[in-house]
């Protein structure tokens, strides 16, 4: 049995849900409300001591880190193949898994803070002092210190601009890569496309659609149309926010 502990709009969770849908795998969807700090509760920390989502429970074995989960699902359920067999194509797939973690996640997180995460904290009535007090209870020093910094200063314009600059650089790289495509690892749709898709969605949700417009990045725009047409993508992204008090429903 597969149980996915995840948050409806988390990009790392969406990656895993797309992969599960592509493989046609049934799973129990357990919502971990990041804005109620469910991910800092002792039961959750036993599964993922880093205090982040997602975590996959496969018959009692816990797997964390979204890219590790993707490869685990591929190894356990290879019937629908999402990893190329060719050695070079495999390196390209892994390169994009790495890019999704190193560049996309970090910077999309920064760009999401002011318009999305801070707005949610405000809607929940969390003041800056509440956040600082809550942050003290987070066992992961990276997350704790980031939240403390953001509770005090938010994300500054300079930080946000730098994050968008890094994303632009990554999207240029995607545009070039997809020129040789049609997919990120080459001829075959793979975990690489799955790992990047939620970030392109978030960039659109953040109202920066010009970053993925055909006039600017035609290869990326075509790839994005193909991704959005996939039933697995639609299924994975259709998960609704169970927290109806949250102002963010997309």
Binding interface with ligand GSH (CB under 6 A): 10-12, 34, 39, 52-53, 65-67, 101, 143
- In whole angstroms, how close is the CB of 51 to ligand GSH at the nearest point? 6
- In whole angstroms, how close is the CB of 151 to ligand GSH at the nearest point? 12
| CB-nearer residue toward ligand GSH: 145 or 234 | 145
- In whole angstroms, how close is the CB of 12 to ligand GSH at the nearest point? 4
Of the candidates 157, 194, 171, 172, the residue with the CA atom closest to the CA atom of residue 71: 194
CA distances from 180 to 102, 115, 219 (A): 23, 35, 9
- In whole angstroms, how close is the CB of 72 to ligand GSH at the nearest point? 12
| CB-nearer residue toward ligand GSH: 116 or 217 | 116
* Cα separation, 18 vs 230, whole angstroms: 10
- In whole angstroms, how close is the CB of 86 to ligand GSH at the nearest point? 25
Phi, psi angles (nearest 5°) of residue 158:
-60, -45
SS3 220: helix
Q: Taking the CA atoms of 59, 68, 240 and 225 in sequence, report the sign of the dihedral they define.
A: negative
| CB-nearer residue toward ligand GSH: 144 or 216 | 144
- In whole angstroms, how close is the CB of 213 to ligand GSH at the nearest point? 25
- In whole angstroms, how close is the CB of 215 to ligand GSH at the nearest point? 30
CA distances from 64 to 68, 97, 130, 131 (A): 7, 15, 29, 26
Q: Taking the CA atoms of 197, 9, 206 and 102 in sequence, report the sign of the dihedral they define.
A: negative
Say if CB 13 and CB 228 are below 8 A apart. no
CA distances from 14 to 17, 84, 111 (A): 5, 21, 18
| CB-nearer residue toward ligand GSH: 143 or 239 | 143
**Helices 11-22 and 191-205, axial angle in degrees (round to 10):** 130
SS3 82: coil
Say if CB 69 and CB 84 are below 8 A apart. no
């Amino acid at each position: 049995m597969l149980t996915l502990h995840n948050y409806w709009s988390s990009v790392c969770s969406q990656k895993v849900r797309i992969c599960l849908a592509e493989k046609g795998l049934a799973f129990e969807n357990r919502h971990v409300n990041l804005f109620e700090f469910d991910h800092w509760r002792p039961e959750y920390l036993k599964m993922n001591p880093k205090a982040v989502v997602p975590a996959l429970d496969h018959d009692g074995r816990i797997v964390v880190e979204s890219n590790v989960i993707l490869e685990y699902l591929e190894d356990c359920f290879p019937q629908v193949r999402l990893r190329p067999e060719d050695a070079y194509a495999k390196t390209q797939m892994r390169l994009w898994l790495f890019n999704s973690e190193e560049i996309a996640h970090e910077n999309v997180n920064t760009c999401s803070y002011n318009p999305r995460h801070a707005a949610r904290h405000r809607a929940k009535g969390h003041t800056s002092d509440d956040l600082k007090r809550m942050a003290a209870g987070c066992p992961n020093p990276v997350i704790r210190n980031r939240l403390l910094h953001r509770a005090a200063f938010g994300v500054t314009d300079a930080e946000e601009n730098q994050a968008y600059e890094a994303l632009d650089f990554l999207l240029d790289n995607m545009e070039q890569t997809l020129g040789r495509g049609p997919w990120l690892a080459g001829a075959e749709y793979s975990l690489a496309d799955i790992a990047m898709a939620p970030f392109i969605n978030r960039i659109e949700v953040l109202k920066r659609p010009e970053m993925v417009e055909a006039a600017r990045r035609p290869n990326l725009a075509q790839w994005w149309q193909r991704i959005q047409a996939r039933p697995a993508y639609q299924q994975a992204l259709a998960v609704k926010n169970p927290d109806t008090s949250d102002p963010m429903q997309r």
